[in-house]
Amino acid sequence: MPLIIIGSIFMILANFPMPGYANFVNGIFGAGFTTKLLYPIRVTFDIVAILAVISISYQLAKDREVDGLSAGTLSLAAFLMLTPVQTIDVVLQNGDKLSLGKVLPTANLSAGGLIVAILTAIIATEIFIFVVKKNWVVKMPESVPPAVAKSFTAITPGLIILVVFFLIRLGFESTSYQTVFAFITKFVGAPLALVGLSFGGMFATVSLYSFFWTLGIHGTRVVFGVMDSILLPAMDQNRSALEAGHQLPNIVTLQFYDNFVNSLGGCGATLGLIICIILIGKSRQVKSIGKLALAPAIFNISEPIIF
């Protein structure tokens, strides 16, 4: 999330909605400087799937008391195993041919590959945990430094993980989809986006996480654990359209929830409720709770009033 926020700052600086802004900035820092402001976006938005696979795997492994660094590294290798490598050749305006060599498409490394990244992190880490817990690892003498011993411990689970994901890639290459990314986009991402990015989907999402809150469950974390895989790609599509000067394709994005749903007192838009409790509430106890919850609600923290 910090990198997404940082990337958003540079996106604003590069596309500030003020007439003459681009000419003003380019006049001070040189022609094309607003385009160079997009460089930080390449290392934030365009690698969000890589960041997700490492962080999810690391945290899952740490929670299960195994080496998080080894698990994260192997999950990243598994994710890259599934990522197709493309060879790009271009023809310049003067007719010369230029080979860019083998490249990894950022469409799969950015928010578009988030669902694959999440699934890869979970599957690869579970394999790693299973193998380590079963003690199917290369053991080193006690005289070997712990850091070195850990690297040898990861050999067996790493081999199994890469073989499994190698077979998964070969399996998809034998189908008409060619890649797991194309398969996920058609059968998971597209249907979820069709529902989740509509008004009805937004209403259902808010209703669902509000219901979880009434049970004492952090509904936002539960629901948005799934919805982020839809909302982040939608945000990225808007970002790409903005860079290209096109109309933004999506209305419902993560920012839509932040600005028009959760910015009125946190989850449940509790600010209006709190004001009503303070002004016209009959119960002294409830009014006391409302007064205590007002300050947090101004900063979109709704737990005090909801619970």
Distance from C-alpha of 52 to C-alpha of 240, rounded to nearest angstrom: 20
Q: What is the pLDDT of residues 98-117, one digit of tens each?
A: 777 778 877 788 777 877 88
Domain spans of the chain?
A: 262-307
Residues 61/50, Cβ–Cβ less than 8 Å? no
DSSP class of residue 37 equals T
Q: What is the pLDDT of residues 252-300, one digit of tens each?
A: 888 888 778 777 777 778 888 999 999 998 888 889 988 988 888 887 7
Average pLDDT over residues 135-146: 75
Contact 71, 125 (CB under 8 A): yes
Question: pTM higher than 0.75, yes or no?
Answer: no
* Closest by Cα among 41, 129, 17, 122 to 78: 122
The rounded Cα 204 to chain-centroid distance in angstroms is 21
Strand spans (E) along 162-265: none
